Amino acid sequence: MSDQQQVTPESVPLADDMPMLGLGTWQNTDPDQCAESVANALEMGYRHIDTAQAYDNEESVGEGIAQADVAREDVFLATKVWITNLAHDDVLETARESLDRLGVDYVDLLYVHWPSDTYAPEETLSAFDELYDEGLIRHVGVSNFEPEHLDDARELLDAPVFANQVECHPLLPQDELREYGEEHDVNLVAYSPLARGEVFDVPEIQDVAEKHDASAAQVSLAWLREKGVTAIPKATGDAHLRDNLQSVALDLDEEDIATIDGIDTENRVVDPDFAPW
């Protein structure tokens, strides 16, 4: 943006205590690069880091957090329990292993990665409650849950369902899940918020970006924020990290929002065989 303003950690809006822009680390599996990108992101102003057991990089993420000149308590750290580890005792065991790999005493948010494979709502979620009661996790989250799964989770958990992490972007706006979250106080967190780069080629987004002298990535991330959705775009290089962070300074007007809402293409980019939809 031509009138770029300094983005500080304090200028990133919060959804409860969760910064609404974070760093996703999926596919960031080179240990040195992963640690460096996490450390650089934190030094730059990011305060929300997202990983998962299945990403095979928790140790590197933890090294990046340790390298950065940012206090642990100032970092909102999330990880996820993989679908093969969702039996009650496996949740307890592997969550502690995640903490060890990350080098932390707690995580701010622990997600059920998908409601599939060994996921058994009562058994799985009771283990999450135990971790919550022990203070090993600050918030309980779910990922890739549809409304019926959220209903079950909210009924079974003693702890609140803090967040549902799903694919969400201008080509998959997730209206039903956003409305559900607003009604039941479940924050929506968007993975693949740039549709793996597909938003860059959408004319409506290009038009809004040109109007604001902004990037298509910034426009897409700002649109999500305007919808009340937290975004965790993945990035490794400094240029992309800075570009995504600068989306916090972009204010879209009602016309911009209407333009993006009017996109008539719908495309889901993450659709594994075990998905619940």
Known catalytic residues are 55
Q: What angle in degrees, to the nearest 10, is found between the helix axes of 203-212 and 216-226? A: 100
Separation of alpha carbons 277 and 87, rounded Å: 22
Cα end-to-end span (Å), the chain: 38
Q: 103: phi > 0 → left, psi -120 to 50 → alpha, else beta; which?
A: left
Looking at residue 207, what DSSP letter applies? H
**Which amino acid appears at position 78 of this protein?**
A
The phi, psi pair for 61, rounded to 5°, reads -60, -45
Separation of alpha carbons 249 and 88, rounded Å: 43
